[in-house]
Structure 1
Amino acid sequence: MYDLPIRQLTVVSVHRPTPRTARVTFALPAGEFALAGPDQQVKLYFPRPGQDRPELPEPAPGQGLMDWYAACQAVPEQHRPWMRSFTLRAHDAELHTVDVDFVLHGPTGPAARWAARAEPGQVLAMFGPSPEFARPFPLDGDGPLLFACDESALPALGTLVEALPAGTRAHAWIEVAGPEEHQPLLGFGELTATWVHRGDAPPGQRLLAAVRAAALPADPAAAWLAGEAGAVRALRRHLLTDRRLPRSAVHFTGYWRRRLTQDDAPTPADLADAREILGRNS
């Protein structure tokens, strides 16, 4: 049993790496904080209208995750904070801050609405990083690595690229709205990045076409897929069926769903994905 990693975060600064991305730097409260590796996922909690910070139950010493989550669900809906999943883009151990990138995809979602108006002094809550969310991806295999994602997974991809061992070959296909959304991907590995511009096409359509048309390297060690859930499933089917990659070599996560939010119930396809991911990590 371990104390639940629940913290309050205070906004220090906000800037726009691209027109559709807000990078928010948060000050961490006093205490120990370290990242176990790249692609560290957290849950962020956003206040309801009229609140200056999210209303969450205080965790008891040694309380289990499910008991605390049940206490959260017991908060009346009009007061219960919205929850969304994110990857920490960076951690500055000296300044004791973390960076989180928000995709500003429109005014409809609570996270995008909050990020579009974020300013220093505002407060969110964070659960994690935690072993509950860990999905390690092997970066030290014998062959080249494959990455394919959209902009929602670009923060995670950035941390993975930064963690590549020197000399490791990697190929990435990244779908974004247009050329103005490119971001630098820096590390010690040998990365070949292909930027795919969505334009007015449905999410994932041009990313899938680009991967299908690509001359993939022989004998890739592993593949990492993340982004819109339906596009991720199509990419995975392509790699397993057409490219004959072993099932165990293809790591995948649906970050978001067209026309559905994290507040909506999982679909049968979502549940099937979750069962496979849980089976792999168990």
Structure 2
Amino acid sequence: MTLPVTRLQVVAVDRITPRTARVAFEAEELADTVGTAPDQQLKLCFPRPGQREPLLPAGQDDPMGWYQAYLAIPEAERPVLRSFTLRRRHPGTRRIEIDFVLHGDAGPAAAWALRAAPGDRLGMVGPSALYAPAVPFAEAGKDADWLLLAGDETALPAVATLLEALPEGERAYVWIEVADRAERQELTSRAELEVRWLYRDGAAPGSLLVEEFRDTVLPGGEPLVWLAGEAGAVRAVRRFLIEGEGVPKENIDFTGYWRHRLGQDDAPTEEDLADARERLASSS
């Protein structure tokens, strides 16, 4: 199975909250089966300064060949990669939507999104079923009494797609930490939802989410938990659930999307590496 590599052109930009831009793209190539499942991960390729659009690695039959082709591009011309979750694929078209959290112009992705306009071009690697994460709730009725999805604003695209995929009659709790009340988004699902919005209002990222878990009595029974967001907060919540609530490790799907005070290009910490090893072990 090959990993799609294609160019994208911006067709619309919608500021859905003061700090979130939803960008609609038209892909040059996109198979009908791509991006139809929830929580689909992909990489966007951003141009280097002075480039109108990024250079892209050549497509490869080997699913990991794209990365070797990427490294073969001279470093000064090599596109900047950032990981995202596909928010929506419009059926029967090559149109997709991706949400960008706007947290200033220090990072290449946020800086690009602040200025994005129709006609701008990026590259995309993925999404692909080969690297699609297992949806932990596909057979939740067999394995758990209830579901919990928790994270910050960076997790909202994935949370929204997971909720939209839940069947009628499922019971799910959703806890989302955002900057303030203006960052709330509408979440829809056929499942029975209980949604809590946590507003930082200047507090440290992840702090309210950690406090919410420590201060709340969780429902009885065995849950399935999906966690994503700031890596330190995800790590603290996961540790609390395992050590404080007795939730089995295998019942928690967790991802640290970003790190407070550290960029994606900074070296991983020992805790980051430990998380990666544990995620790899749980998926094997």
Q: In the TM superposition, what is the alpha-carbon distance from 1:7 to its structure 2 partner?
A: 1.2
The one of 72, 75, 87 aligned to 1:74: 72
Instruction: Name segments (4+ residues, structure 1) moved above 4 Å.
Output: none
Give the equivalent residue in structure 2 for 1:43.
Answer: 43
Give the equivalent residue in structure 2 for 1:18.
Answer: 17
Report the Cα distance in structure 2 between the residues aligned to 1:64 and 1:96, rounded to whole angstroms: 21
Report the Cα distance in structure 2 between the residues aligned to 1:110 and 1:80, rounded to whole angstroms: 14
SS in 2 for 1:49: coil
Give the equivalent residue in structure 1 for 2:198.
Answer: 196
**Does structure 1 conserve the Cα–Cα contact (< 8 Å) formed by 2:43 and 2:81?**
yes
Q: In the TM superposition, what is the alpha-carbon distance from 1:33 to its structure 2 partner?
A: 3.1
The gaps in structure 1 that reach 5 residues or longer are: none
Q: In the TM superposition, what is the alpha-carbon distance from 1:72 to its structure 2 partner?
A: 1.5
**Does structure 2 conserve the Cα–Cα contact (< 8 Å) formed by 1:42 and 1:133?**
no
Matched, 1:119 2:121: no
**Does structure 1 conserve the Cα–Cα contact (< 8 Å) formed by 2:13 and 2:22?**
yes
Give the equivalent residue in structure 2 for 1:92.
Answer: 90
1:5-25 CA-to-partner distances (Å, cap 9, x unmatched) read: 111111110001100000000
**Does structure 2 conserve the Cα–Cα contact (< 8 Å) formed by 1:173 and 1:211?**
no
The one of 150, 153, 171 aligned to 2:152: 150
Give the equivalent residue in structure 2 for 1:54.
Answer: 54
Q: Which amino acid aligns with 2:86?
A: L
Identify the range of structure 1 (154-163 vs 266-275) with the bigger mean alpha-carbon deviation. 266-275
Matched, 1:272 2:274: yes
Q: Cα distance 1:145–1:64, how it changes in 2: closer, same or farther (>3 A)?
A: closer
Superposed CA RMSD: 1.4
Q: Percent identity?
A: 51
1:95-129 CA-to-partner distances (Å, cap 9, x unmatched) read: 42110000001110000000011111111111111
Give the equivalent residue in structure 2 for 1:210.
Answer: 212
**Does structure 1 conserve the Cα–Cα contact (< 8 Å) formed by 2:15 and 2:21?**
yes
SS in 2 for 1:77: coil
SS in 1 for 2:140: coil
**Does structure 1 conserve the Cα–Cα contact (< 8 Å) formed by 2:30 and 2:94?**
no
Q: Cα distance 1:141–1:63, how it changes in 2: closer, same or farther (>3 A)?
A: closer
Q: In the TM superposition, what is the alpha-carbon distance from 1:180 to its structure 2 partner?
A: 0.2
Give the equivalent residue in structure 2 for 1:133.
Answer: 131
Give the equivalent residue in structure 2 for 1:241.
Answer: 243
Give the equivalent residue in structure 2 for 1:32.
Answer: 31
Report the Cα distance in structure 1 between the residues aligned to 2:30 and 2:200, rounded to whole angstroms: 42
Q: TM-score, normalization: structure 1?
A: 0.95
Identify the range of structure 1 (263-272 vs 250-259) with the bigger mean alpha-carbon deviation. 263-272
Q: TM-score, normalization: structure 2?
A: 0.94
Q: In the TM superposition, what is the alpha-carbon distance from 1:211 to its structure 2 partner?
A: 1.9
**Does structure 1 conserve the Cα–Cα contact (< 8 Å) formed by 2:58 and 2:69?**
no
Give the equivalent residue in structure 2 for 1:172.
Answer: 174
The total of aligned residue pairs comes to 279
Q: In the TM superposition, what is the alpha-carbon distance from 1:36 to its structure 2 partner?
A: 4.8
